[in-house]
Amino acid sequence: MKTYPAIALAARHGRHAAIAIGVLALLITLIATTAQGGFMPFAWALLAGVLAWAVARLLAELIEVIADTLLPR
């Protein structure tokens, strides 16, 4: 029977990785927009961090569903 270690790793650590991806995206966009100043660059950076977290979380949950339903235990 085939084993998929990458799927198991993503299913086990995907939610924590999603948080890390969101925080990293927020920090990168905040650093990039600091030079511009003002409120709107900060708002866009915050939106980018939240969207990155949401997409990563969605993918992590999708991998968890695939691992639970399709892979043998």
Residue 40: predicted pLDDT: 85
Q: Which pTM was predicted?
A: 0.78
Q: Which domain holds residue 44?
A: 5-70
On the question of pLDDT at 6 being above 80, the answer is: yes
pLDDT of residue 36: 79
Tell me how far the alpha carbon of residue 36 is from its chain's centroid: 26
Q: What is the pLDDT of residues 17-68, one digit of tens each?
A: 999 999 999 898 888 888 777 788 888 888 988 999 999 999 999 999 988 8
Environment class of 59 (CB within 10 Å of its CB; exposed 0-12, middle 13-18, buried 19+): middle
Q: How confident is the model at residue 1 (pLDDT cuts 50, 70, 90)?
A: low
Number of structural domains, the chain? 1
19: closest CA among 65, 63, 52? Answer: 52
DSSP string, 8-19: HHHHHHHHHHHH
Nearest to 52 by CA among 22, 32, 26, 14: 22
